[in-house]
Structure 1
C-alpha cells in the first residue's frame, strides 16, 4: 500500500492510500490546505482545531449542495425518461398517420399518371 506525505496548514502528515490514488489524495490535501489558508486569512489565528472544523464544514456544505443538485438532476432525468416514452408513442402514431397519408397521395399520383397515359 503506497504512502504519501502531505502538508496541511504547515503540518506534515504521512498517509496510506490505494495504488494509483496518490495524486488524488495529494490534490485533496492541497485543496484542504488552500481552504484553511483562506480561512486563516479571513479570520486570523483562531486555533488549529477550530479552523480545521470550519474547513470541514465548508467542504461538507459543498458536498451537501452537490448531492442535492445530483438528486434534482436524477429526478429531472427520470421525468424526461418517462415523458420520452409518451413522446415516442406520439411520434410513432404521427409517423403512422404520415405513412398512411403518403400512401394515399401515392395512390392519387398513380391514378393521375394512369389517366394521363391512357388519355381518360
Structure 2
C-alpha cells in the first residue's frame, strides 16, 4: 500500500492508496480542493468540516444528476432499439408482400404467355387470331 499527501483547503493530508493509484488520487483531491475553494470564495472560511460537507453535498448532487441523465439516455436507447426492431419487422413484412405480389404477377404473365402461344398454335391462317410476335416471345415478354 502506498501513501500520498494531498492538499485540501490549504492543509496537507496523507492517505493510503493502492500501488499505482497515487496520481489518480491526487487528481481527485485536486478536484475536491477546487470545489472547496469555490465554496470558500462564496461563503468564506466556515471551517474545514462544513466546507467539506458542502462540497460533498454538491458532488453527491452532481452524481445523482449524472445518474438521472444516464437512466434517461438508457431509456431513450431502449426506445430506439424497440423502434428499430419494429421498423425492421415492418420492412421484412413489406419485403415479403412485395415478393408475393411479384410472384403472382410473374405467374399471371406466364399464364398470359401460355395463352398467347396456344392461340398462335390454334391459328389456321384465316385471320381470326393473329400469331404472336416472335420477337416478343423470344425476349421473354
TM-score class normalised by the smaller sequence: 0.7 to 0.9
Partner Cα separation in structure 2 for residue 54 and residue 99 of structure 1: 67
Aligned to 1:8: 8
With 6-15 and 16-25 compared, the bigger mean Cα shift is at 16-25
SS at match of 1:45: coil
CA distance change for structure 1 residues 102 and 19 in 2, over 3 Å: closer, same or farther?
farther
Partner Cα separation in structure 2 for residue 18 and residue 88 of structure 1: 49
Alignment of 1:35-74 (within 5 A): 35-74=35-74
Aligned to 1:21: 21
TM-score, normalised relative to structure 1:
0.77
Aligned to 2:136: 115
Partner Cα separation in structure 2 for residue 22 and residue 96 of structure 1: 61
TM-score, normalised relative to structure 2:
0.67
Q: Could you list the runs of 4 or more consecutive aligned residues of structure 1 that deviate by over 6 angstroms after TM superposition? A: none
Larger RCO (CA under 8 A, 6+ residues apart): 1
**Structure 2: 5+ residue stretches without partners:** 114-134
Partner Cα separation in structure 1 for residue 12 and residue 102 of structure 2: 76
Aligned to 1:32: 32
Q: Which has the larger radius of gyration?
A: 2
CA distance change for structure 1 residues 4 and 98 in 2, over 3 Å: closer, same or farther?
farther
Which structure shows the higher helix fraction? Answer: 1
Q: How many residues align?
A: 115
1:3 Cα deviation after fit: 2.1
